[in-house]
Amino acid sequence: MFGLIRKALRPQLQRSPWLSRLFKPPQDPESTEPPHPSSEDANIANHSVPGGFHPVSLDDKFNSGKYTVLRKLGYGRFSTVWLARDSEAEKFVALKILRADCYDGKKDIFESEILSKITQQSEKSTHPGRRHVSSLLDTFKHEGPNGNHVCYVFDVLGHNLGHHTWQFERARIPFRSVKLITKQVLLALDFLHTECGVIHTDLQPSNMLLELENPEGAIKKYLYETSPRIHPKNGALLHEAISTSDIDTIKEPRIRLIDYGVWNLLEGRKPITISWKELLDGPPPLDRPEGMSDSEVSAYIDFLSNILVIDPSRRKTAAQLLQHEWLQNA
């Protein structure tokens, strides 16, 4: 099956050595292991740098005491993300704190402008894709020892899609879930492109998070049963994720796109398109989704062929891909 798919995509692979490496034959499943998590040491070290990350401890309060930090949820090149409790709304939220140099410094990343645009559009739109993007609940600034930090507040979400792939042999998510998630991603992209004038430049499984089925209940249960993760040597807080059920056991899994990457806010212009090479970042080798019937193989190959067109002017839009026969019963 893999050879058949590779043969069908041969023209695209010949034009792109990068894609050719991506679609190399899969390794022995016994040798396939999830990637080792990135070290947080560099992130921790940057806490003491002017213009860097804000040092955060459990029970710290933000925005005049409105938000209380409970756990660390994640970190990246420009920010850390924390589980917090909103005392006014009486709900759990995700608090994202940018490095002090992200604004009014050397690294203006325009994230506030993009998030504001998405949030404003989501509030007035009826596009179904709006339900599959992460929008703002609140934003404010926090003064700390390393500078002034822009902060964002979002809904709390569960594990990313990359985590779920490693629950299955050769990282293959069941076919039903693959179709459903593909459709949701395309709906989200169509909403971003056509109504927000925004492109997602870091589209990968780690930036696709599953919604929690019962957020308040799931988070309370997690906090009760799980102690904070602590660095064994320096005692720093390590990131964790609220537990979610395996994706194949969720009746109607729903994802949201987060962390839109290097932003492009397009005002009154046609959305910029980028090549597939720029969108991909090292997923597992292509293989037939678990549970796909033989009758769907040709439609699946055609769907992928339409996506893997290097020339943006010839590649189908998200809206056009949503009409493809392979997705009609998703």
The CATH number of whichever domain residue 25 belongs to comes to 1.10.510
**d(C-alpha 319, C-alpha 138), whole Å:** 30
Domain assignment present for 321: yes
**Per residue in 27-54, pLDDT tens?**
443 333 333 334 565 555 556 688 889 9
- pLDDT at site 232: 87
Q: Which of 60, 138, 202, 287 is catalytic?
A: 202
Calculate the CA dihedral of residues 324, 178, 92, 117 and round it to 10 degrees: -30
Domain assignment present for 272: yes
Domain assignment present for 229: no
* Whole-angstrom Cα Rg for the chain: 21
Q: Which residues are annotated as a binding site?
A: 96
Q: Which residue has the tokens 């005491």?
A: 65
Domain assignment present for 268: yes
**d(C-alpha 153, C-alpha 135), whole Å:** 9
Q: Which residue has the higher pLDDT, 33 or 123?
A: 123
| Overall number of domains in the chain | 1
- pLDDT at site 84: 98
**d(C-alpha 201, C-alpha 236), whole Å:** 31
**d(C-alpha 178, C-alpha 182), whole Å:** 6
Domain assignment present for 119: no
**d(C-alpha 108, C-alpha 138), whole Å:** 20
**d(C-alpha 255, C-alpha 272), whole Å:** 24
Instruction: Note down the domain range covering 265.
Output: 2-37+170-213+247-327
Could you tell me the two tokens for 131? 């339900």
> Would residue 202 show up in a list of annotated catalytic residues for this protein?
yes
Q: Which residue has the tokens 């994202």?
A: 96
**Per residue in 55-76, pLDDT tens?**
999 999 999 999 999 999 998 8
Domain assignment present for 241: no
What is the separation, in whole angstroms, between the first and last Cα of the chain?
A: 22
Q: Report, as an integer, the average pLDDT of 189-203.
A: 91
Q: Which residues are annotated as a binding site for ATP?
A: 96
